[in-house]
């Protein structure tokens, strides 16, 4: 089982890779998004399950699954 800290590192590494910079990734995290129930992704960073949910959404985006 992965820890929240490990998931958090994975999340930031993937986000920076996908968005090109930490600044761009943080801007995305601060955007209200439908897949997160019209909440900001950063609102889910406090739990391992929340981080996994964000990682899953990044995976969908990466593979062109936007709905």
Per-run averaged pLDDT (10 residues), the chain, 67 residues? 80 97 98 96 95 96 83
Region of 40 (left: φ > 0; alpha: ψ -120 to 50; beta: rest) is: beta
Is 37 in contact with 29 (CB distance < 8 Å)?
no
Q: What is the CA radius of gyration of the chain?
A: 11
**53: Cα within 13 Å, side-chain hemisphere:** 17
Q: In the prediction, which pLDDT does 67 show?
A: 59
pTM of the model: 0.88
Q: In the prediction, which pLDDT does 2 show?
A: 67
Q: What is the DSSP letter of 37?
A: T
Report how far apart, in Å, the C-alpha atoms of 14 and of each of 38, 58 are: 22, 8
Q: In the prediction, which pLDDT does 58 show?
A: 97
């Amino acid at each position: 089982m992965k820890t929240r800290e490990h998931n958090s590192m994975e999340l930031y590494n993937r986000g920076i890779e996908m968005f090109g910079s930490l600044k761009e990734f943080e801007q995305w995290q601060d955007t209200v998004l439908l897949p997160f129930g019209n909440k900001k992704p950063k609102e889910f960073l406090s739990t391992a399950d929340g981080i996994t949910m964000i990682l899953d959404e990044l995976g969908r985006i990466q593979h062109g699954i936007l709905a």
